[in-house]
Amino acid sequence: MDDLLVIGGGSAGITFAKFGASLGAKITIVEANKLGGDCTWTGCVPSKSLIHAAKIAHTAATAARYGIAAQPSIDFAAVMGYVRSVQEQIYQHDDAPEVLRKAGARVIEGRARFYDDQTVEVNGELLRAKHFCIATGSHPKIPAIAGLAEAGYLTNEDLFLVDELPKRILVLGGGPIGCELGQALLRLGAEVSLIQQGSRLLPKDDHAMGAALAQALKAEGLQIYLNTKTLKVEVNAGAKQVTIQTANNEPQTLVVDAILVAAGRTPNLHNLGLDAAGILYDPERRIHVDQYLRTSNPRVFACGDVIGRYQFTHVAAQEAGAVLRNALFPGQSAMKYELVPWATFTDPEVGHVGLNEDQARAKYGSSLRVYELPWSANDRARTEDATQGFTKILAVGRKEQIVGVHIIGQGAGDMINAAVLAMGTGVSASKLGGLINVYPTRSQGLKMTAQRSFTRWLEKPWLQRALRWYFR
């Protein structure tokens, strides 16, 4: 009997296969489609590969300001060929069945469904295990818009199968996926408009990040509509006519060739037999789990997108580690979410960890201190002509405990990891500001921002008077 049978071969499932089997546990992974999941085939890997190609095109197109004459000729089919080659490389190295089998896991290709509270059925065979974990991921949420289904649309699940770039694209959704792909497609030659129902882009990030990103995207030519509803879609002469209601309640029609839906995600819960297993869930939202990631069935755990918490590859992998701990060994260890970082890989990038400013003010009130530094103050940013953005550190109390860090700028996704380390080890803002950093680097901007925690004292009138007296 298996120690753990996992339904789903995405980032969580692969973590189970590699690390669980390395411990000597008997692990089985059941995958209905292709191992690697959303990250490899429709999410992180293809989108970042596309973004990389688009950035090269943008760099070439804007090279004249550096004294370099270049005008890129973009072969979109070749770009997508590059994207797929990266997917295949990562799949063969990390995700393929033979890789997981070599690690010691059993891999079954098929669709798993709970037969009862301690049995699953796969390809007509009944399988039992000491414990199970559901890690089936999620799929794009499609908004209820009149005529959308009839007109046709793209999502991240089929965009990377396209070899011809639509001339005019409308993106529905101003979250990370919509912003990343919208900018990439714009840089590759499409005319792109983006509709966001809310008042800002990246609504889960610090409020200043969305505003700064919107400014950067607009400067490149991306048309952004905030506080806007999509009313209906019609097809006329091969084009899609999209009727929208803007912030001033006036109807407007956009004519586009393709619609990219990036309006959130829904967990994959269909046809899993959850009722037969006694597992509580909300059909459109999540499987219910406790702090140990255990479902209402004590034999069954769940992690990743299906539990509706943080829909990121790195979180799913971390949750898989927690499930391994709790399913295979005595005792229980709660999953901790206090320091979950994330990044949006636009240009400039956006990095986030901890509380945003609104949350921190609500929790800490007047004890909150906000330290900001524009990227124009960073010499490396100046040398690379990448001065868009700023760094924000939120600290509280006399000890200057860091409770949130938010960065918008080139390489912010990498820089935010240093903030995670600082917060996780209890490094104060003043301590962070006193560390030696390599010059010139972008990450030095984090140190320079933290230095505001003690340079602010130099602005105190009483200290200025004392210093003038001392150096008289």
- Give the three-state DSSP class for 113: strand
179 known ligand binder: yes
180 known ligand binder: yes
pLDDT for the residue numbered 388? 95
Mean pLDDT, all residues of the chain: 96
Amino acid of residue 143: P
Mean pLDDT confidence for 69-87: 95
175 known ligand binder: yes
What count of Cα atoms within 13 Å lies in the side-chain half-sphere of residue 243?
12
pLDDT tens digits along 285-320: 899 999 999 999 999 999 999 999 999 999 999 999
pLDDT for the residue numbered 16? 93
State the pairing for strand pair 27-31/2-7. parallel
205 known ligand binder: no
Which range (59-63, 368-372, 430-434, 453-457) has the least confidence? Answer: 453-457
E strand or H helix at 344, and its extent? Answer: strand 342-344
pLDDT tens digits along 1-15: 899 999 999 999 999
pLDDT band with cut points at 50, 70 and 90 for residue 460: confident
- Tell me, yes or no, if the pTM score tops 0.75: yes
389 known ligand binder: no
pLDDT band with cut points at 50, 70 and 90 for residue 283: confident
178 known ligand binder: yes
221 known ligand binder: no
394 pLDDT higher than 80: yes
22 known ligand binder: no
Place of tokens 């790195």: 314
Mean pLDDT confidence for 317-328: 97
13 known ligand binder: no
| Cα 336 from Cα 415, distance rounded (Å) | 22
| Cα 386 from Cα 377, distance rounded (Å) | 11
48 known ligand binder: yes
Q: Tokens for 10?
A: 């995405």
List own/partner pairs for 278-284 with CB under 8 A and 24 or more apart: 278/117, 279/114, 279/134, 282/308
Q: For the beta carbon of residue 22, count every other beta carbon within 10 angstroms.
A: 12
List own/partner pairs for 92-98 with CB under 8 A and 24 or more apart: 94/14, 94/36, 94/40, 95/9, 95/14, 95/35, 95/36, 95/40, 96/35, 97/35
Place of tokens 């949420």: 141
pLDDT for the residue numbered 29? 98
Task: Tell me the domains of the chain and their CATH numbers.
Answer: 2-35+96-140+266-328 (3.50.50.60), 141-264 (3.50.50.60), 341-461 (3.30.390.30)
81 known ligand binder: no
Mean pLDDT confidence for 433-447: 96
pLDDT for the residue numbered 456? 77
| Cα 345 from Cα 230, distance rounded (Å) | 26
List own/partner pairs for 314-319 with CB under 8 A and 24 or more apart: 314/341, 315/340, 316/10, 316/11, 316/12, 316/15, 316/135, 317/11, 317/12, 317/15, 319/12, 319/293
pLDDT for the residue numbered 467? 84
Instruction: Say what percent of the chain tops pLDDT 70.
Output: 100
For residues 86 and 97, the answer to whether their CB atoms sit within 8 Å is: no
38 pLDDT higher than 90: yes
182 known ligand binder: no
